[in-house]
Amino acid sequence: MSTAPGLFITFEGIDGAGKSTQARALGAWAEAEGREVVLTREPGGSAGAEEIRRLLVEGTPDRWSGETETLLFTAARRDHLERVIRPALSAGKVVISDRFADSTRVYQGAARGELRGFVDTLHALAIGREPDLTLILDMDPEVALARGLARRSGEDRFEEEGLAFQQKLRAGFLALAASDPARCRVIDASRRPEEITADVIATAREKLQ
Ligand code: TYD
């Protein structure tokens, strides 16, 4: 078992900003550095949370109220934290998650209604853990939206809400980054994937050492 302390890194940003590609690239790099890596995602990441994910990503945009949606995301996150994230960090692993609590702060807390107080109270009660480092992949929503919708996976409930919504999300993530500069780094994700990866690795390297 590794003796290094665990490290919890999250990727955040609007739909289609390339988070999963960059999460994989960072994971491969950390493994090459000799670390054990757990790559995971939200909503989902544990068996129970993946079941909740289906309730969240399928169906029409008005399927749930903002409050119900927040409760479901938080329930999924609690399971993910208990079953996957905490055990891996305790074992000294590097946990890299494609989305975590900042997505709820921005999607449910800001962009889908004024639920930030509700989101923050639930987070404090049920989650109470922040990542060591959050990489916010920032890009023009018009480009990201085109990429996201191109995927057409049957999981389009959130992406279908349009460009104005994605612009609100972008502003929400940038505001969040500004409010917590010790944890969050904004990465320009409009560049070529290799350039973004180089930036991601340089930022994570500081935390890993
Ligand atoms: P995800 O699978 O990351 O989609 P994408 O790869 O397109 O970014 O997440 C599915 C959707 O769920 C996505 O539109 C963001 C949304 N979401 C929330 O609204 N709140 C949350 O807390 C999380 C984790 C995701």
Which residue out of 103, 139, 163 has the highest number of ligand 1 atoms within 8 Å of its CB and is therefore the one to mutate?
Answer: 103
CA distances from 166 to 36, 46, 59, 104, 193 (A): 34, 27, 19, 14, 21
User: Whose CA is closest to atom 7 on ligand 1?
Assistant: 15
**Residue 147, token pair as written in the block:** 């990429």
Which ligand 1 atom is nearest residue 100's CA?
24
Q: Is residue 46 part of a domain?
A: yes
Q: Is residue 1 part of a domain?
A: no
**Residue 24, token pair as written in the block:** 């994989």
CA distances from 28 to 80, 117, 175 (A): 22, 37, 30
Beta strands 37-41 and 94-98: pairing type? parallel
User: Whose CA is closest to atom 17 on ligand 1?
Assistant: 103
Q: Is residue 155 part of a domain?
A: yes
Q: Any residues with Cβ below 6 Å from ligand 1, and which?
A: 15-16, 42-43, 57, 73, 98-99, 103-104, 107-108, 148, 158-159
The whole-number average pLDDT for the span 84-107 is 98
User: Whose CA is closest to atom 4 on ligand 1?
Assistant: 15
- 188 CB-contact burial (10 Å; exposed 0-12 / middle 13-18 / buried 19+): exposed
Secondary structure class of 134 (helix, strand, coil): strand
Least confident of 10-19, 25-34, 105-114, 182-191: 105-114
pLDDT tens figures, 119-159: 999 999 999 999 999 999 999 998 887 776 556 556 666 66
CATH code for position 47: 3.40.50.300
The whole-number average pLDDT for the span 14-26 is 94
CB count within 10 Å of CB 20 equals: 13
DSSP 8-state class, residue 159: G
Q: Is residue 143 part of a domain?
A: yes
Give the residue among 125, 114, 102, 127 at the shortest CA–CA distance from 14: 102
pLDDT tens figures, 41-68: 999 999 999 999 999 999 888 899 999 9
Query: How far is the C-alpha of 114 from the C-alpha of 105, rounded, in Å?
Result: 10
User: Whose CA is closest to atom 19 on ligand 1?
Assistant: 107
Residue 98 Cα to ligand 1 middle (Å): 9
- Phi/psi class of residue 34: alpha, beta or left (left: φ > 0; alpha: ψ in -120 to 50)? left
- The residue segments making up the domain with residue 36 are 7-208
Res 92: pLDDT: 97
Buried-exposed string 153-182: b where 16+ CB fall within 10 A, e elsewhere: eeebbbbebeeebbbbbbebbeebbeeeee
Number of domains in the chain: 1
Which residue out of 64, 68, 74, 99 has the highest number of ligand 1 atoms within 8 Å of its CB and is therefore the one to mutate?
Answer: 99
Q: Is residue 139 part of a domain?
A: yes
